[in-house]
Each structure stands twice: as structure tokens, then as C-alpha cells.
Amino acid sequence: MKETKYSICGMCAVRCPVTVQVENGKPIWIEGNSHDGGMGRSLCAKGGAAFAQRLDRQRPTAPLLRRGQRGEGEWREASWDEAFDYITTRLNPIIAEHGGRAIMFSDRGGPFADLRQAFVKALGSPNYINHDCTCGRNVHHASKSVYGLGRKDFAYDYENARHIVLFGRNITESLKVKEVKSFLRGIKNGARVTYIDPRASVTAGKASRYWQIKPGTDYALLLGIAHCIVANNYYDTDFVEKYVNGLAEFKAFLTPYTPEWAAGETGIAASEIETFCRELNEDRPKVIIHPGWMLARYRDSFHASRMIHILNALMGSIEQPGGLFYPKGPKDAGKSGLKSLAALVPAVNEERADGCGSRYPQWDKGAGMLQTAYEAIDSGVPYPVKAYFVHRHNPFIAMPDTKEQRRILDKLDLIVAVDVNFSETAWFADVILPENTFLERDSILRTEKGLKPGFGRRQQCVKPLNNTKAGWEIYVELAKRLGKGDCFPFNSIEDIWQYQLQDTGLSVSDFEAKGFVKLSDKAIWFDRDKLKFGTETGKIELVNQKWEAMGVPSLPPYVAPEGPPEGSFRLLFGRNGYQAHGMHHNNPILCDLLDVNKLWINTAAAKKLGIKDGDQVRVTAGDEQGTIAAYVTDLIHPEAVFMLHGFGSDVPAKKRSFGHGLADQMFMQGKLKEWDKAGGGLNLAECFVTVTPV
Amino acid sequence: MSKYIVTQNVADCIGCRACEVHCKEKNNSGSGAFYCRMIEVTSTEAPLPRIDFVYLSCFHCEKAWCVDACPTGAMRRRDKDGIVYVDKKSCVGCKACITACPWTVPQWNPETGKVGKCDLCMDRIDEGLEPACVTKCTTGCLSFTTPAEASQTARQAFAEQLLQNRR
């Protein structure tokens, strides 16, 4: 029997809608869910390798209990009963002695996090944390300080834009299928694209202007651009008058930051900056200056992103076709939203271990901050943290300095990893609870914000091949065994779905036809004369007093980055379109596309060192070193070297990728303690390495 | 040339290699074997870097070197539409086709010890569908078409561009 199932991909954090065909219980075809017009049948390489992931046996296929030392890789298979018992017998004394707050949990956020947040809350802990300190925290906090709205409160209408400006936002490789299709339609419709990055990614090849900026000087370039725009009145005076506070102070602050000055800092000619600004003036308001997706890079990334948010306001591109728009939710369509699972759980009024909202008043409590939670584990301040659940999240490679992370996490009494793969972090855990692949699991319903808001469903398309469970089953069962069953009055995923849909007037069967339900037929745009922002004043704040009072200056003077010492380079990293976050480097198909990374190095810099294309070179930082092939090219700035992230796995069970290539985070020694003080994002591009011929 | 052709709009290609993966998943071509491949071509000459990807698969030649070279008749050309394909049962793994093809298109499957190659997903074509690589291309830059249609589409696009430039 052949069936068609609509679901949501789980190969990366983008979570695209997919169609899966199943014959006699076997998956035979997967493609994009073409009921979603922006998606069509398109599917990226990662999604295309989903069946291969399911069949791959180099993954946890049953609950595993650690036998040897942490990280030694000695495991014993256990029943689910035994694994749950193992966890509860260790967790109960921790809770008895230190309280529920001694438990922390991290995942990669996303639209299904509600259930996991409910789980952490039910245990009496405030310490739910997502991965965002290595991703978009700087962008998010910058957005809050300008608009009072989070980074996800804006989306981008590329298709109708006249000018798309990307500060390292590598749209073609840090890939979202619907976004890249919209971006390419924008180009076809005549949009200019300005791409700014010390390394020319594939996106640079699609741009009409590429600036190979000196690494670490984005804020300087933005100051020069802002200067030129306000000095020449290249901005939307009506929009600014109506919605923007602090222009006079902003203008005064920008006085010294002329395009000539910016040229000296960034290496981008003043005349080019001026031409670019003139174009922005012609193209506004249909201008998108992307404030960044992953922007845990430099010590001033928060301020670079903040300046981008401000420039978008000056362009008047807010809630504007061809510019930025508010993704609308159910309420904007006059409908009720999904009921929250966390709302069923009593509130936890403890201080967070990571200090969000207390030691760091400017940081959102919702997503937490992993590196300062590590400080709490290490120091026992503000209180002891003794147990860590790490859910399909891999801090050992996402965060800097794996060795230091191992030292800190070894202080914990219990580490539980829930994962589909053997992540480097899971390999260090005491228990691995294997999760079903996305093809094999149901998830809670998600809200899909956009011009036409709706809800979407991931459903189980095929039965699990191995002794694995869905995340919701794991956490509901664990909560019950820990005496918190009353917070989860559900026996099946259908129970959960029905509860979520309670106020919406919809039923589960409404998802059968397309996999999602739209709450509006028409695109919803707000009245541009009545826009509201989330700041105290309801205006866009160029100078935000609330943030100033929390110790974050709105307009700090520029401080030039430290340059690499003689013979050293700034280490940059990134990804390609087919392997993300180290999750799929061992996938049987995807490892066939690329099984080792290379070191990009500038032609002139390489020549000086006597390095030719393809030569093996030694990369060194502190006592960390490794050998890698050089890719000698003009596509990278002379001060920087670059490698793809996610290689150099030290997990021997991943036989196809074990030891292949180098891992950038290993070179970032001491960097676990260096982050953007305003935004909280780690400084992942502030590491220097030496490169020598072998 | 088979009556079909796969064309690529290079400007819309992002080198994401989804076509290669969708092909491998569908055709189970074996480790290291790629029936279609995206070839990266870069140029760093100022003012703009060029980073392009060119789709290369099988040309399904009208007079196919591989078919002529095959000693067992495993490499065949389908009468009705000219698709060149391998009859797996008859392939003895001699690799003569790989040597004979000017572009070394036939692929070696180390797991089966036989040759495999693009057959334009002819089982899908026979169901009225398109090849896997085209169907699921991330950006829609690949098209499954005929030479005549491809020519018409290209001319149409060129004409529209001309008019747009004049405006």
C-alpha cells in the first residue's frame, strides 16, 4: 500500500515542510511539500539524505549507559526501563539536596521547544537554555534594544527588494530553501545585492557588489555608511520623524565616522561607500540590510547588528513590501493560538544559574546563555548545578575550546544526552537516550508565523527501525517517573495535539490534507501609519535609555580590532549547503560529497610562507595543532584563514568521519570566556592561528 | 541524444549538491559514484568573483561510445526515446564503457562490481514524472525538457531581457 504523508524535515534547524511517500511501511520518496507554494518540491541535500540517516547504524540505536570513564566510549546497551531508572535514581537525590534548579537543559530552540521547556519547568528548574550564544543572540538583543522586538519579529521580502545587503549572511550556503528561492527571484526581478565578507562564499558569486572587508571591521563600515546616509539626507524623513527617537544624538555621534575614515579601517574605498549609499537612497524603502543570522563572531557584533537595525529604520523599510515585515501570528488573523504546554506547569521563581535577567539584566531569560551557565557549573555560584540534559545539541563543537568544556562538564553528577546521532557531546554523557529520526517521530504542533500565519505538523511517517523513542515520549515518561505526571496529562501525541488545538476551532484531522493549516487566505500587512514597537516609548530607539541603564551604551565609539600577530591569521569558519553543524558529516551519502575540510588562505599570504595550493600545512594555536591541505585563493582576505565547520570529529563510532579534517573550535583556547558583553554571543571569530608549511 | 535534455540555469544554481544527493538516494549508485555532478568553476578576477556550478550528467549520445564498446550488450539505448541505460543483469563489470566514453560518464559501483549511469530516472519518466535531480532541485535551476523546448524557452527569456533593457 502506498501512502503520502506530510511532515516537517528535521535534518537541520530550518525544518522545511516535506512530503514523504511510504510503501508497505518503507519510505520510498521524499520531496518538498508542494502545497507550500514557496517551497514547491524542492529539497536540499540534507533533506535528501534523510533515508540514509535512518538506515545508518553508526548512530545510537538503543539506550546506552556509560561503562568506562566519561568520553572513553565504553557503552552498554540498556532497556528503556533501565535507562529511565538510571536517570531517576541519580536525579532524585540531586533534587532532594540541591533543588530542581540544580538541573539544566540545553537544546537548539525552534518551534517544538515548548514541550522541553515544560519538562524543565516541571522539574522546578529555571535553567532551560538554547544554543543561541553561538548563533543569533547578538542579533536578537540588538533588535530588542532598537525596536523592543526580537530578531524573529522581522522577516524579509527578498523577492520584491531593490537592494539586498548581506554582512556575511551567506544565504546560498547557510541554506533555507524558501529563503534562497525568494532571494534568487529578487535577483531575477532586478535587485542589487551587496555582499560583505572577508571570504567570498557562493553568495558573493550571486552579488552585484562584493566587498572583501578587513575581518572584524563591520561596525566601522556601518558607521561610515550611517554617516554618509545622515549627512546627505539619504533617509526616509517621514518614517524617521514619525517613528524614530534620537536622530540628533545619532547625527552628532556619527560626525567623526566619515566614509574616508571607514575606508582606513575596513579597506573599502570611500568612493565605493558613497556610491553604495547613493544607491540605497534610490532603492529605499525596498531595501533589506540583513541584521545577521549567526552573528556570534566579534566582540562588537551586537553593535554592528544594532547599526544594521538602525539603518533599516532609516531606509523606512519596516513593514514594507521589498523590505522587512512582521511575521504575523494567529492573533493577527483574528484567531487563537496553540495552547502552551509549559502553561500547564507551575511557575518557577528561581534566579537563573546563567544570570540572564539578574547578573546580566539585559539578556532575555527565555533562551538563557550557555557559557555563563558553564561558569555556574564550574564555580557553584549562584548555586550548584549538578545535572545536564543536552537535547540534540552539540556544545562540544558549537562552543569554543572543547577541552575546557570537558573539564567543566566533568564536575556534573549526571549528563543525559538525547540525540539521533553520536554527537561529540553525547559521547561524553553518562546516558544516551536515542531519539527517533524525524521520519520516525511525531512532534508537538508548531506555529508558523508569516504573512499568512498558520500551524504545521510533523508526523511519524514510518515506524522506528531501532529501539528509539520520540522526544515527547522520552520527556513525558521521565516527568511521570519523577512524580510530575500531573503536568503532562497526556497518553499519546494525539492527546497533546488536541490540547494544543483546544482554542483554535481546529481538529487534528485538519492537518491531513496538506500537513499545515493556514489561518488567513490573504497576506496580512499592518497599517504603516499605525506601527507599534516594543520599546518603552513605542518608538524605534537609536539611543535606548533602558539599555543604557543596564550598562549597554547605545552608540559606543569604535575600537579597532586587534590585528593578527606577524605570521598569524584570524581563524574564520562557516558551512556549505550540504553539511550543517557537524550533524551530517558521517551521513553515508553526505560524507561522500565532502569528507575532509581545507584551509583557505590568501594567495599573497601563502606565497610569503612558501605554501602552494594543495600543500599540507600545520595550523597551531597554543598547544593545539593539526595538519590540513591548503586551498590557496584570492577569495579570502590576507589577514584571515577559513575552514568549514564540523570536521575533525573525535568520536570513533562515526567511522566515515572520525579524524577527518580539522575542528575550528579546538583552536579557540580560552575563548569560552570571551563574548560580546552587550549581546552575549561568543566571539567565535576572535581567534588567531599560525600556519606553517609541513 | 535522447529526445530529452536536462538544462541548467547557472545563474540560479547555488552548488548545494541536492541534485547529486537526490540522484544517489533514488538510484543507489554506490559509494563514490555520481550519475550527475556539479562541477565548481571559480574565477577571482576583479571586480567580482565568479563562483559557478555546472551540471554534468550523461549526454545520452545518439551514437553512444559506451553502447558500442560494451561486449555484453548491457549498455543499451532505449528505442522509444533514446535513453542510454545499463541492464544490470548483463553487466560483467569490465569497465569498457567507462574507457570508451569521452567524458568518462559511466560510474563504477564498488558495492555491486557493476557500472551504473544516469537513465534520466526512466521509471519516473514512464510514470509521467521528472528525474529526481530536476524534481527536487533546491532552486529550480534544472529543467527536464526537449531540445526544441529548451531552445524556445531560452529565446523567450533572451527576448524579454532585450525588451527590459530597452525600457
Domains belonging to chain A, first-starting first, are 2-55 (2.20.25.90), 64-134+336-518 (3.40.50.740), 155-325 (3.40.228.10), 568-693 (2.40.40.20)
The pLDDT of residue A379 is 98
Q: For the residues A132-139, what does the mean pLDDT come to? A: 97
Cβ contact, residue pair A51, B25, below 8 Å: yes
Which of B14, B135, B137 faces A172 most closely, judged by CB atoms?
B14
Calculate the alpha carbon distances from B73 to A349, B63, B84, B85 in Å. 76, 15, 12, 11
Q: What's the predicted TM-score (pTM) here?
A: 0.97
Report how many helices (DSSP H) and strands (DSSP E) chain B contains, helices first: 6, 8
DSSP A90-146: HHHHHHHHH-GGGEEEEE--STTHHHHHHHHHHTT---EEEGGGGTTHHHHHHHHHH
Segment A400-433, tens digit of pLDDT: 999 999 999 999 999 999 999 999 999 999 999 9
Angle A617-A621-A623 (CA atoms, 0-180°, nearest 5)? Answer: 105
The pLDDT of residue A212 is 97
Cβ-based neighbour number of residue A241 at 10 Å: 9
Tally of domains within chain B:
1
CB neighbour class for A24 (10 Å; exposed up to 12, middle 13-18, buried from 19) = exposed
Q: What is the distance between the alpha carbons of residues A365 and A361, in angstroms, rounded to a whole number?
A: 9
DSSP run (H or E) holding A599: strand A598-602
Segment A180-230, tens digit of pLDDT: 999 999 999 999 999 999 999 999 999 999 999 999 999 999 999 999 999
Pairing of strands A616-621, A454-456: unpaired
B52 touching A (Cβ < 8 Å) = yes
Can you say how many angstroms the Cα of residue A587 is from the centroid of all Cα atoms in its chain? 21
Q: Are A651 and A422 in contact (CB under 8 A)?
A: yes
Cβ contact, residue pair B16, A44, below 8 Å: yes
Binned at pLDDT 50, 70 and 90, residue B167 comes out as: low
> Grid coordinates representing A203?
553568495
Structure letter (DSSP) for residue A333? G
Structure letter (DSSP) for residue A340? P
Mean pLDDT across chain A: 97
Q: For the residues B117-139, what does the mean pLDDT come to? A: 98
Q: What is the distance between the alpha carbons of residues A639 and A395, in angstroms, rounded to a whole number?
A: 28
Closest to A10 (Cα-Cα) out of A157, A134, A108, A125: A108
Q: Write out chain A residues lying below 8 Å of B136, CB-based.
A: 31-32, 41-43, 48
Binned at pLDDT 50, 70 and 90, residue A492 comes out as: very high
The pLDDT of residue B164 is 75
Interface residue of B8, B22, B23, B143 to substitute, partner A, most A CBs within 10 Å: B22
The pLDDT of residue A537 is 96
B63 touching A (Cβ < 8 Å) = no
Q: How far apart are the first and last CA of chain A?
A: 59
Q: What is the distance between the alpha carbons of residues A198 and A635, in angstroms, rounded to a whole number?
A: 8
B137 touching A (Cβ < 8 Å) = yes
CB neighbour class for A1 (10 Å; exposed up to 12, middle 13-18, buried from 19) = exposed
Cβ contact, residue pair A204, B49, below 8 Å: yes
Three-state SS sequence of A29-69: EEEECCCCCCCCCCCCHHHHCHHHHHHCCCCCCCCEEECCC
Q: What is the distance between the alpha carbons of residues A288 and A174, in angstroms, rounded to a whole number?
A: 18
Residue of B nearest to A38 (CA): B139
Interface residue of A9, A16, A18, A41 to substitute, partner B, most B CBs within 10 Å: A41
Which of B14, B48, B136 faces A180 most closely, judged by CB atoms?
B14
Closest to A305 (Cα-Cα) out of A289, A318, A292, A288: A292
Which of A41, A577, A592 faces B135 most closely, judged by CB atoms?
A41
Cβ contact, residue pair B137, A42, below 8 Å: yes
Task: Chain B: give the shortest CA distance to residue A216, in Å.
Answer: 21
Closest to A644 (Cα-Cα) out of A630, A626, A663, A631: A663
Segment A604-638, tens digit of pLDDT: 999 999 999 999 999 999 999 999 999 999 999 99
Q: Write out chain A residues lying below 8 Å of B137, CB-based.
A: 42
The pLDDT of residue B2 is 80
Q: Write out chain A residues lying below 8 Å of B51, CB-based.
A: 200-202, 204-205, 635
Which of B12, B14, B21 faces A589 most closely, judged by CB atoms?
B21
Q: How much of chain A, in percent, has pLDDT values that exceed 70?
A: 100
Binned at pLDDT 50, 70 and 90, residue B33 comes out as: very high
B70 touching A (Cβ < 8 Å) = no
Residue with cell 498558520: A454
Segment A327-339, tens digit of pLDDT: 999 999 999 999 9
Cβ contact, residue pair B44, A181, below 8 Å: no
Q: What is the distance between the alpha carbons of residues A567 and A639, in angstroms, rounded to a whole number?
A: 10
Cβ contact, residue pair B138, A51, below 8 Å: no
Q: What is the distance between the alpha carbons of residues A92 and A101, in angstroms, rounded to a whole number?
A: 12
Segment A89-123, tens digit of pLDDT: 999 999 999 999 999 999 999 999 999 999 999 99
Domain range for B35: 5-166
Binned at pLDDT 50, 70 and 90, residue A274 comes out as: very high
Cβ contact, residue pair B24, A592, below 8 Å: yes
CB burial of B113-123 (b: ≥16 within 10 Å; e: otherwise) equals ebbbbbbbbbe
Q: What is the CATH number of the domain that holds B69?
A: 3.30.70.20
Calculate the alpha carbon distances from A128 to A43, A132, A292, A513 in Å. 32, 12, 24, 35
Which of B16, B44, B137 faces A635 most closely, judged by CB atoms?
B44
Contacts of A173 (CB under 8 A, 6+ apart): A201, A202, A203, A574, A575, A576, A577, B14, B16
DSSP run (H or E) holding A304: helix A301-315
Cβ contact, residue pair B21, A593, below 8 Å: yes
Residue of A nearest to B32 (CA): A592
For residue B165, pLDDT beyond 90: no
Q: For the residues B58-86, what does the mean pLDDT come to? A: 97
Closest to A115 (Cα-Cα) out of A363, A437, A416, A479: A479
Segment A45-61, tens digit of pLDDT: 999 999 999 999 999 99
Q: Write out chain B residues lying below 8 Å of A33, CB-based.
A: none
Interface residue of A587, A592, A613 to substitute, partner B, most B CBs within 10 Å: A592
